[in-house]
Structure 1
Amino acid sequence: MDQYIEFITNHPILSLAWVGLVFLIVSGWIKSKFSAVREINPQQLTLLINREDGKVVDIRAQKEFNAGRIAGAEHLSPEKAKQSDFSSLEKHKSKPIILVCATGMTAQGIANAMHKAGFESVYVLSGGMGSWQSASLPTTTGR
């Protein structure tokens, strides 16, 4: 214990950095546990589609969507998504909605907006289309 106190007094900036890092990790973990939006992996996505009639919503650009998407995915333009214009998805409000973007980062904020707009169960594909393709799962192309 004396060594810890000595280290902290000799290296206050480094000690504060460690405390800050631990705080960020713990707060991020707590936030994810109590969030209304859950991240799921590709296997969980297929289970949601097959068992609960989940709807995949792809929020990538139209060009990326046409180049390769999850079968049955509906496209929502990034512009509409960022403006919280979910009118095209109103009929799916009670179904599980799985948002897919390129890496899984963009979808999180939009998923929170969808939850606030009244969508009952919103999920985000962790890792986005990259994780779907890394798992060697099928994609479709075209319009």
Structure 2
Amino acid sequence: MQFLQHLIEFISAHYLLTTAFLVVLGLLLFTEGRKSGSAVSTQQATAMINRENAVVVDVRPKKDFAAGHIVDSINIPFDSLTTRLNELDKHKGKPLLLVCAAGQHAGGCAKQLKAAGHDKVARLSGGIGGWRADNLPLVK
């Protein structure tokens, strides 16, 4: 309770500093969010795959990919993406859908792909776990 009281006192005494901090924080979050690609739901992902011919790039390790993956997805593990970016050059201009286990690696991979010239990059919200939770098909 005392912390909250001190925080309110600080904010009221330094409102310009607090406002500047919040603006910078908001811009930073906005910029980082745009770099990492938009997060799409499983429904949006299936629409991208079926209607827009999105290329599904699974960035999980090969062992996890072999245990079950989205039909026609390409496996490029996140730790080797930098050295294998050229494999995706033929798909420039097409939407890319990045899939990882739970969403923690796809954002970083999206940044790399955007820097390499891929402008339509999205990541599956919840990763392959979200796909499984929605009972969508996987192949081995």
TM over 0.5: yes
Give the % identical residues. Answer: 32
Give the counterpart letter for 2:5 in structure 1.
H
State the partner residue of 1:49.
49
Q: Deviations over 1:71-99 (max 9, x none)?
A: 11111023212x36311111111100000
Alignment match, 2:67: 67
- TM-score normalised by L of structure 2: 0.79
Residue type of the partner of 1:58? D
Q: What is the letter of the counterpart of residue 12 of structure 1?
A: H
Aligned match of 2:77: 77
Q: How does 1:57-136 map to 2 (within 5 A)?
A: 57-81=57-81, 83=82, 85-136=84-135
**Partner SS, residue 57 of structure 1:** strand
One-letter code of the match for 1:49? I
Aligned with 2:70: secondary structure? coil
Q: Distance in 2 between matches of 1:79 and 1:9?
A: 42
**Distance change >3 Å, CA 9–CA 122, structure 1 → 2:** closer
Q: Residue type matched to 2:124 in 1?
A: L
Assess if the C-alpha contact under 8 Å between 2:99 and 2:128 holds in 1: yes
Q: What is the total number of aligned residue pairs between the two structures?
A: 132
Q: Secondary structure of the residue that 1:115 maps to in structure 2?
A: helix
Q: Distance in 2 between matches of 1:66 and 1:10?
A: 50
Deviations 1:94-131 (A, max 9, x none): 10000000011111011011001101200000110010
1:30 CA displacement: 3.5
Could you tell me how far 1:14 is from its partner in structure 2? 7.7
Query: Take 1:99 and 1:72, find their aligned partners in 2: how far apart are those partners?
Result: 13
Q: Is the 8 A contact 2:54 2:97 kept in 1?
A: yes
Find the counterpart in structure 2 of residue 12 from structure 1: 6
The CA RMSD over aligned residues, in Å, is 3.2
